[in-house]
Amino acid sequence: MNKTIYTKRMKLAQLIADNNELLSLLQRLDIKLGFGEATVEDICRRYNLSTELFLMICNIYSFRDYEPQTDILTKEDIIHVTNYLQASHKYYKQVCFPSIHDKVHSLVNTLDDVSRHLIDKFYDDYDCEVRNHFKYEESIVFPYIESLLAGTQPKDSKYNISKFEKSHSYIGEKLNDLRNIIIKYLPEESCSPLHFDILKEIYITESDLQKHSLIENRLLVSLVEKLEKGNE
C-alpha cells in the first residue's frame, strides 16, 4: 500500500488502487464509479462533500497511526461526520451483518447440536448488542449533536460528548471471538469452504468497525468538544 498520506490533488482511482477497502466508503457515501481521472477535490465538489473531511476519513482507513488535524475543520463538517456515521450504520445493518448472519446460519445447519447452539446464541447475542449500540448513537448522541448545532437546549441538559467517549465500546471484539471459535473449536470434520468464506467476511467487517470507531473517537468527539466550548 502507498504510504503517502492522501491529498486533494490525487486521483480518486489511485486511492482505490492503493487501498481497496475505500470502495465500501464510496458505497456508503453514494459516490458512483466511473469517475475517470477525477481528483479527490473534483469528486468532493461534485458530491458536495468536505474535501478535508473526506481525506481524513480515507487516511484513517488507510494508515494505522494517522492522527487527523481537526482544527482545520469547521462546524459544518460535524454534519458531514454524523451523516457519514449514519450511512455507515445503514451499511452495516443492511449489507454487512445480514450477509454474515445468512452465512452463519447456513454454517450451523451442518454442525452437531452442541456446536449449533453455541454459534447460534453467540451470533444472535452479538447482533442484539450491535443494534443496541447503534440505537444509542442514533437516539442519544446524534440528536444531542443536532441540538448543539441548532443552538437549542438538549433534552438531557447534563449530557455531553465526554459521556459518549467514556461509555463508547468497540463492537468488533465479539466478532473476534466468533472468528476464533470457527478457527479453533468447531469439529475438524465439519470444515468446508463456507467456513473460510465466513472468516474472510468477518475479518473485513472487523477491520471496518475498527476504522469506524477511530472516526468516532478521533473526529467526532474532537469536533463536538470544540462545539460544546463554543456554545458555553
* Residue type (1 letter), 146: E
CA distance 73 to 159: 24
The residue to which cell 486533494 is assigned: 8
CA distance 60 to 16: 14
pTM: 0.87
pLDDT for residue 155 is more than 80: no
Question: Quick one: which of 65, 38, 64 has its CA closest to 51?
Answer: 38
The residue to which cell 465538489 is assigned: 45
187 grid coordinates? 469439529
pLDDT for residue 232 is more than 70: no
Any idea what DSSP says for residue 34?
Answer: -
Give the 3-state secondary structure of residue 74: coil
pLDDT for residue 2 is more than 70: no
183 grid coordinates? 478457527
Tens of pLDDT, residue by residue over 172-207, are: 777 888 888 889 988 888 889 999 999 999 999 999
Cα→Cα distances 227→73, 104, 122, Å:
11, 42, 39
